[in-house]
């Protein structure tokens, strides 16, 4: 029997946090899915964000983590059953950019259900990967929103029925996330420009030595040809 | 032994369009080989000639039809056919079973197909990148896809010709979301190229492994998954590391896994642009690069639509 590997879906933290509906398979061996308010059906997700916290909840063998994106944060747990991630977590110190591939689990609380992530692998990342992730996640979320507004997929219909999703809220979430990335890119460009201007004005170290030398020579009236 | 000769004679006549009785073949072969101690190849020839006479066939008719027809890969569309193909070995995969000596992907200018060399066939190993004529192979269908099986009656002959391989080239952008543990600095069997564990090859026993560098992983774009293998050339292009520098790192740290940790740090979760041929779960990497900047045009377009 060959198993099809589950795709890692792209979901913003806020939408993830607002998800509560589990789709179970026919038998207990079938994979479980979390249906999100815009109709993503996910068993696994991929996130690039900022590791905000790692908290030891059990002698270094059970950690609670929190990873932020521009819309909110993902709560997660890493334990002995995720040896790769447990091993990698040792080298990570918040705050820092991380990339995470994670399975989804859902806690059934008394008042509500809380989705969380169980990282299979976690590793240091960078701001470029974070920006690429936000844009990719924005595009895929927007596609789901458009499908929901047109009621063109079964999962969109189901999600609207369950959550009564107001898509304008999620459009705003996507827009805000994109604006943040756009703002940062513009800021980075300004910084780059400043750096270039600074370079032009700033004398290279060699110039200073020669200047000092010239001053020294003027004072002492040495013959340059001796040097 | 005897059964193989019986089957071979029967199938030679069968592919010429004539059915002959296996029991009759066996009885005659048995008589010549075991009673008269005739050498096997002489006995086979004699029995074949007997049936040619019986059917009033000229030997060249049988010779001409003996080889199974040469076909292009794109023409293979039903199981149970005996065919001959001229192919290049595109990729060797790890064998899924003790009964399989080699498994992988072969291609010609019309397409690619999975091939399986059964251990019982006793055929010598084929190598990636070399071209061969596979004669008398049997087409088969496995999980909805065509494949070819190389059995005892098949022949594998290496050819000088460099077969051009057609492929459905695709280009994808996705994140490397998983790296398998049998990645990094590995050793391969010098005889058959299999990846070794503890320098033991399942076929050639204890061998002096040859070092290689690779990443077996999964690239995922949020909609589809692609299993990829990044070879030494790909890894050198992406990270600057090659087998030599990986060996040095392993020697300095006294730990081969430090190479994998190092590569993981540079590659896990990174966005890659890969062009290559898609084959089932696999994407055969042709060219791979990091995505090095944000597509600001896409960003603006998304902001307009949202
Ligand atoms: Zn071997």
Q: Which two structure tokens, joined as six digits, stand for B174?
A: 């996705």
> Given an 8 Å threshold on Cβ–Cβ distance, is B143 in contact with A2?
yes
Write down the H helix ranges in chain A. Answer: 13-17, 83-89, 127-149, 154-163, 167-201, 205-220
Question: Do B175 and B131 have their domain in common?
Answer: no
CATH architecture entry for A8-126 = Beta Barrel (2.40)
**In chain B, what is the straight-line distance between the N-terminal and C-terminal CA atoms, in Å?**
73
A129-132 contacts, C-beta under 8 A, 24 or more apart: A129/A48, A129/A97, A129/A99, A129/B175, A129/B269, A129/B270, A129/B271, A130/A48, A130/A49, A130/A50, A130/A97, A131/A181, A131/A184, A131/A185, A131/B294, A132/A48, A132/B271, A132/B291, A132/B294
Distance B140 CA to ligand 1 centre (A): 26
> Given an 8 Å threshold on Cβ–Cβ distance, is A178 in contact with B291?
no
Question: Do B209 and B265 have their domain in common?
Answer: yes
Using an 8 Å CB-CB cutoff, list chain A residues near B255: none
Distance B125 CA to ligand 1 centre (A): 9
Backbone conformation region of residue B129, classed left if phi is above 0, alpha if psi is from -120 to 50, else beta: left
What percentage of chain B reaches a pLDDT higher than 70? 96
Q: Let me know if residue B104 belongs to a domain.
A: yes
> Given an 8 Å threshold on Cβ–Cβ distance, is B302 in contact with A174?
yes
Give the domain extent around B86: 73-159
**Would an 8 Å CB–CB cutoff place B298 in contact with chain A?**
yes
Mutate to test the interface with A, among B264, B268, B281 (most CBs of A within 10 A): B268
B281: CATH: 2.40.50
Using an 8 Å CB-CB cutoff, list chain A residues near B178: 101, 120-121
User: pLDDT for B89-135, tens place per residue?
Assistant: 988 887 778 889 999 999 998 888 999 999 988 898 999 889 999 99
Residues A50 and A146 sit within 8 Å (Cβ to Cβ): no
Closest CA in chain A for residue B292: A128
**In whole angstroms, what is the distance from residue A144 CA to residue A173 CA?**
13
Question: Do B241 and B277 have their domain in common?
Answer: yes
B145: CATH: 2.40.50.140
User: pLDDT for A125-161, tens place per residue?
Assistant: 999 999 999 999 999 999 999 999 999 889 999 999 9
pLDDT confidence tier of residue B266, bands split at 50, 70 and 90: very high
Closest CA in chain B for residue A44: B222
> Is residue A224's pLDDT more than 50?
no
Is the pTM higher than 0.80?
A: no
Nearest to A129 among B179, B271, B305 (CB): B271
Question: Do B174 and B294 have their domain in common?
Answer: yes
Using an 8 Å CB-CB cutoff, list chain B residues near A182: 299, 303
Closest CA in chain B for residue A124: B265
Question: Do B30 and B106 have their domain in common?
Answer: no
Question: Do B242 and B144 have their domain in common?
Answer: no
Q: Let me know if residue B67 belongs to a domain.
A: no
User: pLDDT for A158-191, tens place per residue?
Assistant: 999 999 999 999 999 999 999 999 998 988 888 8
> Given an 8 Å threshold on Cβ–Cβ distance, is A99 in contact with B270?
yes
Mutate to test the interface with B, among A8, A126, A153 (most CBs of B within 10 A): A8
**Would an 8 Å CB–CB cutoff place B224 in contact with chain A?**
yes
Q: In this predicted structure, what is the pLDDT of residue B34?
A: 86
Question: Do B29 and B91 have their domain in common?
Answer: no
For chains A and B, CB pairs below 8 A equal 95
Quote the ipTM score: 0.84
Question: Do B217 and B270 have their domain in common?
Answer: yes
**Would an 8 Å CB–CB cutoff place B175 in contact with chain A?**
yes
Question: Do B253 and B183 have their domain in common?
Answer: yes
Q: Which residue, of B103, B138, B159, is where some domain finishes?
A: B159
Q: Name residues 185-214 of chain B within 8 A of A (Cβ).
A: none
Q: Let me know if residue B42 belongs to a domain.
A: yes
Q: Let me know if residue B164 belongs to a domain.
A: no
Q: Name residues 110-169 of chain A within 8 A of B (Cβ).
A: 120-121, 123-125, 128-129, 131-133, 135-140, 142
Using an 8 Å CB-CB cutoff, list chain A residues near B291: 128, 132
**Would an 8 Å CB–CB cutoff place A92 in contact with chain B?**
no
Question: Do B149 and B185 have their domain in common?
Answer: no
Q: Let me know if residue B146 belongs to a domain.
A: yes
Q: In this predicted structure, what is the pLDDT of residue A213?
A: 47
pLDDT confidence tier of residue B263, bands split at 50, 70 and 90: very high
| Number of domains present in the structure of chain B | 3
Q: In this predicted structure, what is the pLDDT of residue B91?
A: 86
> Is residue B235's pLDDT more than 80?
yes
In terms of Cα–Cα distance, which of B77, B239, B65, B84 is closest to B155? B84
Return the residue matching tokens 């391989």: B165
Using an 8 Å CB-CB cutoff, list chain A residues near B97: none
> Given an 8 Å threshold on Cβ–Cβ distance, is B299 in contact with A181?
yes
What are the residue boundaries of the structural domains of chain A, listed by start? 8-126, 132-226
pLDDT confidence tier of residue A217, bands split at 50, 70 and 90: very low
Distance B207 CA to ligand 1 centre (A): 8
User: pLDDT for B15-42, tens place per residue?
Assistant: 777 888 999 999 999 988 888 888 888 8
Burial class for A62, CB neighbours closer than 10 Å (0-12, 13-18, 19+):
middle
Q: In this predicted structure, what is the pLDDT of residue B5?
A: 86
User: pLDDT for A64-103, tens place per residue?
Assistant: 999 999 999 999 999 998 999 999 999 999 999 999 999 9
């Amino acid at each position: 029997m060959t198993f099809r590997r589950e795709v890692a879906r792209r979901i913003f933290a806020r939408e993830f946090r607002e998800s509560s509906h589990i789709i179970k398979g026919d038998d207990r061996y079938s994979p479980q899915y979390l249906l999100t308010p815009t109709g993503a059906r996910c068993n696994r997700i991929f996130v690039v964000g900022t590791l905000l916290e790692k908290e030891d909840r059990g002698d270094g063998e059970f950690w609670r983590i929190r990873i932020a994106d521009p819309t909110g944060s993902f709560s997660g747990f890493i334990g002995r059953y995720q040896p790769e991630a447990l091993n990698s977590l040792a080298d990570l110190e918040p705050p820092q950019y991380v990339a995470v591939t994670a399975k989804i689990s859902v806690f059934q609380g008394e008042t509500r259900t809380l989705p969380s992530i169980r990282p299979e692998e976690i590793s240091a990342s960078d701001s470029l990967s974070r920006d690429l992730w936000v844009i990719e996640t924005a595009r895929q979320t927007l596609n789901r929103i458009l499908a929901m507004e047109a009621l063109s997929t079964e999962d969109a219909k189901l999600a609207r029925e369950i959550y009564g999703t107001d898509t304008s809220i999620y459009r705003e979430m996507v827009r805000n996330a994109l604006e943040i990335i756009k703002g940062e890119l513009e800021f980075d460009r300004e910084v780059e420009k400043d750096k270039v201007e600074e370079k032009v004005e700033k004398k290279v170290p060699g110039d200073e030595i020669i200047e000092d030398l010239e001053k020294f020579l003027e004072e002492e009236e040495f013959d340059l040809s001796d040097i | 032994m005897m059964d193989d000769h019986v089957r071979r004679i029967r199938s030679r006549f069968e592919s010429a369009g004539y059915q002959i009785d296996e029991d009759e073949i066996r009885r005659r072969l048995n008589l010549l080989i075991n009673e008269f101690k005739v050498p096997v190849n002489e006995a086979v020839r004699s029995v074949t000639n007997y049936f040619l006479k019986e059917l009033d066939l000229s030997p060249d008719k049988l010779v001409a039809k003996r080889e199974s027809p040469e076909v292009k890969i794109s023409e293979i569309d039903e199981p149970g056919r005996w065919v001959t193909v001229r192919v290049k070995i595109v990729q060797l995969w790890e064998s899924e079973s003790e009964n399989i000596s080699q498994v992988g992907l072969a291609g010609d200018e019309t397409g690619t197909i999975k091939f399986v060399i059964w251990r019982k066939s006793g055929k010598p190993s084929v190598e990636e990148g070399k071209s061969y004529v596979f004669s008398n192979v049997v087409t088969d269908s496995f999980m909805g896809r065509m494949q070819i099986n190389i059995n005892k009656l098949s022949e594998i002959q290496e050819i000088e010709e460099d077969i051009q391989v057609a492929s459905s080239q695709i280009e994808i952008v996705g994140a490397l979301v998983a790296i398998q543990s049998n990645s990094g600095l590995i050793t391969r069997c010098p005889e058959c190229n299999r990846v070794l564990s503890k320098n033991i090859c399942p076929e050639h026993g204890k061998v002096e492994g040859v070092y290689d560098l690779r990443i077996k992983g999964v690239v995922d774009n949020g909609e589809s998954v692609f299993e990829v293998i990044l070879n030494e050339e790909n890894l050198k292009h992406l990270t600057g590391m090659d087998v030599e520098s990986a060996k040095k790192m392993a020697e300095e740290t006294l730990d081969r896994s430090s190479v994998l940790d190092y590569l993981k740090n540079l590659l896990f979760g990174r966005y890659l642009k890969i062009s290559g041929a898609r084959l089932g779960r696999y994407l055969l990497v042709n060219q791979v690069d990091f995505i090095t900047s944000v597509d600001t045009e896409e960003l603006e377009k998304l902001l307009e639509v949202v």
